[in-house]
Amino acid sequence: MKRLLPRTGSVIMKRDRAVGGHGNLVITTNEDVHAVGAMETLHVTDTCDLTELVTAAGLAETFAPMGEVVVEEFLPDCRSVYAEVRCPLPPEEPQILNTGSLRTGEDPPVLAGLELPLADVSDDVGKIFTDGALRLARLMQTLGYQGLASIDAVISPDGTVRFNEVNARLGGSTHLDVIATVLLGKNWADGHVLLSRFSVPSPPFTTLVDGLARNGLAWDRAAREGVVIASDDTEASGTVEYVVLAPTWSRCRALEAELHAYLAESVQPAEH
């Protein structure tokens, strides 16, 4: 923390085995920083007393019971992006399967879904990102890795790409890409876009499916757009993960807004 904090005024502390921002904590000397990607932001004025800082950060067995804490430089106002790659056996070259951006919730501002494919970046920045992801994938090949991997980066407002994480496993976009491929074909991202969100409060599954059809939101094979339920957890937590597919971002966001309006009317407030 002492080494990294002076560089940008902020560091992020991550539980090594947490996911999606849960357990993350940002420590900053900048009062204006309200971090995205962390459960909490801790504003400090004096970093000389490391013991006091560690105590304030809650670094105890209850904070990281399953593994080490990773401390990273935190860059505010960056965009979190990813590329899912397939690492085959050499000499076959790695292949990018899909790309996208991470979506965050409001409270807490942690991972809440994805949008595919990667959009709103210049061609030059996009090429730097995809070329870098493939270079990392080739490195993984030399280490003997074979399979899928999700390679993460952050893009700063000036277009600088910084790679910060590699997940050598199925990623959060794997099933989304499969759903879109089944419905639209292998090169679905050439003509469609996708929005997803998980842990969304929902009525019971059968009620939800009927409501989507009744409101014209369900997947329409002829129109090649609509809502698909990617996972159903209504019995355990009263939530679902949804996917919205449409030919354009504006149409996709309009369908998502209609879906949220329907859900707001359909979900009963929790009793206390």
**Span of 30-39, 103-112, 237-246 with lowest mean pLDDT:** 30-39
What's the structural domain count of the chain? Answer: 3
The pLDDT tens digits of the residues spanning 74-98 come to: 888 899 999 999 999 999 999 999 9
Q: Say if 272 falls within a structural domain.
A: no
- Kindly tell me if the per-residue pLDDT of 60 is higher than 70: no
* Helical spans, DSSP H, in 76-235: 123-142, 174-184, 205-214
Q: Is there a single domain that holds both residue 58 and residue 84?
A: no
Q: Is there a single domain that holds both residue 184 and residue 241?
A: yes
Q: Is there a single domain that holds both residue 182 and residue 153?
A: no
Q: Say if 113 falls within a structural domain.
A: no
- Kindly tell me if the per-residue pLDDT of 68 is higher than 80: no
- Kindly tell me if the per-residue pLDDT of 20 is higher than 80: no
Q: Is there a single domain that holds both residue 103 and residue 160?
A: yes
- Kindly tell me if the per-residue pLDDT of 271 is higher than 60: no
Q: What is the pLDDT of residue 23?
A: 73
Percentage of residues in the chain having pLDDT higher than 70: 89
The pLDDT tens digits of the residues spanning 135-159 come to: 999 999 999 999 999 999 999 999 9
What's the domain range around 66?
5-73
When the pLDDT of each residue in the chain is averaged and rounded to a whole number, the result is 89
Q: Is there a single domain that holds both residue 63 and residue 129?
A: no
Q: Of the residues 167, 202, 235, which one is the last residue of a structural domain?
A: 167
* Threshold 0.85, pTM exceeds: yes
Q: Say if 271 falls within a structural domain.
A: no
Q: Is there a single domain that holds both residue 84 and residue 65?
A: no
Q: What is the pLDDT of residue 70?
A: 81
Name the pLDDT band for 17 (thresholds 50, 70, 90): low
10 Å CB burial of residue 54 (0-12, 13-18, 19+) is middle
The pLDDT tens digits of the residues spanning 225-263 come to: 999 999 999 999 999 999 999 999 999 999 999 999 999
Q: Is there a single domain that holds both residue 43 and residue 86?
A: no
Q: Say if 132 falls within a structural domain.
A: yes
Q: Is there a single domain that holds both residue 179 and residue 158?
A: no
Q: Is there a single domain that holds both residue 19 and residue 37?
A: yes
Q: Say if 39 falls within a structural domain.
A: yes
Q: Is there a single domain that holds both residue 143 and residue 226?
A: no
Q: Is there a single domain that holds both residue 88 and residue 158?
A: yes
Residue 245's CATH number:
3.30.1370
Percentage of residues in the chain having pLDDT higher than 90: 65
Fill in the DSSP letter of residue 121: S
Q: What is the pLDDT of residue 80?
A: 94
**Span of 50-59, 122-131, 189-198, 200-209 with lowest mean pLDDT:** 50-59
Q: Is there a single domain that holds both residue 56 and residue 95?
A: no
Q: What is the mean pLDDT of residues 181-201?
A: 97
Name the pLDDT band for 272 (thresholds 50, 70, 90): very low
Q: Hunting for tokens 């996709």 — which residue is that?
A: 252
Q: Hunting for tokens 């910084």 — which residue is that?
A: 162
Residue 205 parent element (H or E): helix 205-214
Residue 145's CATH number:
3.30.470.20
Q: Say if 59 falls within a structural domain.
A: yes
**The amino acid at 223:** A
Q: Say if 257 falls within a structural domain.
A: yes
Name the pLDDT band for 65 (thresholds 50, 70, 90): low
Separation in Å, CA 263 to CA 110, 175, 195, 213: 21, 23, 16, 13
Q: Say if 130 falls within a structural domain.
A: yes
Q: What is the mean pLDDT of residues 17-29?
A: 77
